[in-house]
Structure 1
Amino acid sequence: MRVTGMGLPRDEVPGAFDVGARAYDRLVGANPGYHDHLAKSAERLRLPGLGDGLRLLDIGCGTGASTAALLKAAPHAQIVAADASAEMLEVARSKSWPSNVTFVHSRVEDLNVNGVDGPFDGILAAYLIRNVDDPDTELKSLMSLLEPGGSIAFHEYSVKDSIRAQVLWTFVCWAVIIPLGYLATRNTTLYQHLWRSVVTFDGAGEFARRMQRAGFTSLATETMTGWQNGVVHTFLGARPMETL
Structure 2
Amino acid sequence: MSVAQAFDRGAARYDLMVALNPGYHRELRRAAAALVERTEICRRRGSPSVIDLPSIDIPSNDLSFIDLACGSGASTRALVDAAPPRTAVLGLDASPGMLAQATAKDWPAEVRFDRAVAGTLDVDVIGRGRHDGVLTCYLFRNVAADQRDLAVRETYDLLRPGGWLVVQEYSVAGNPRARRVWDAVCLGVIIPLGILVDRNRDLYRYLWRSVLNFDPVDRFAERLLAAGFTDVAHRTATGWQRGVLHTFVARKPDRST
TM-score (norm 2): 0.87
Pick the aligned partner of 2:68 from 59, 64, 67.
59
Q: Quickly say closer, same or farther: Cα 1:202–1:183, change in 2 above 3 A.
A: same
AA at the equivalent of 1:18: D
1:115 is displaced (CA, Å) by 3.8
Could you tell me which residue of structure 2 aligns to residue 31 of structure 1? 21
1:44 is displaced (CA, Å) by 1.2
Could you tell me which residue of structure 2 aligns to residue 94 of structure 1? 104
8 Å contact kept, 1:216–1:238: yes
Could you tell me which residue of structure 2 aligns to residue 4 of structure 1? none
CA distance in 1, matches of 2:174, 2:218: 8
CA distance in 2, matches of 1:219, 1:114: 25
CA distance in 2, matches of 1:226, 1:165: 12
Could you tell me which residue of structure 2 aligns to residue 48 of structure 1? 40
The answer on 1:126 being equivalent to 2:118 is: no
CA distance in 2, matches of 1:40, 1:187: 29
The answer on 1:109 being equivalent to 2:119 is: yes
Could you tell me which residue of structure 2 aligns to residue 190 of structure 1? 203
Q: Secondary structure at the match of 1:32?
A: coil
Range moving further from structure 2, 178-187 or 148-157: 178-187
TM-score (norm 1): 0.91
AA at the equivalent of 1:70: L
CA distance in 2, matches of 1:176, 1:205: 28
Pick the aligned partner of 2:218 from 190, 205, 219.
205
Where does structure 2 lack aligned partners over 5 or more consecutive residues? 44-60
AA at the equivalent of 1:213: A
8 Å contact kept, 1:111–1:117: no
Could you tell me which residue of structure 2 aligns to residue 79 of structure 1? 89
Listed as ranges, the matches of 1:130-209 within 5 Å are: 130-133=141-144, 134-209=147-222
CA distance in 2, matches of 1:237, 1:144: 13
AA at the equivalent of 1:104: D
8 Å contact kept, 2:121–2:154: no
Could you tell me which residue of structure 2 aligns to residue 240 of structure 1? 253
CA distance in 2, matches of 1:205, 1:114: 30
Could you tell me which residue of structure 1 aligns to residue 56 of structure 2? none
Question: What is the count of residue pairs matched by the alignment?
Answer: 233
1:72 is displaced (CA, Å) by 1.5
Could you tell me which residue of structure 2 aligns to residue 5 of structure 1? none
Q: Quickly say closer, same or farther: Cα 1:91–1:194, change in 2 above 3 A.
A: same
Q: Secondary structure at the match of 1:44?
A: helix
Could you tell me which residue of structure 2 aligns to residue 9 of structure 1? none
AA at the equivalent of 1:68: R
AA at the equivalent of 2:93: D
AA at the equivalent of 1:15: Q
State percent identity of aligned pairs.
45
1:114 is displaced (CA, Å) by 9.6
CA distance in 1, matches of 2:13, 2:91: 20
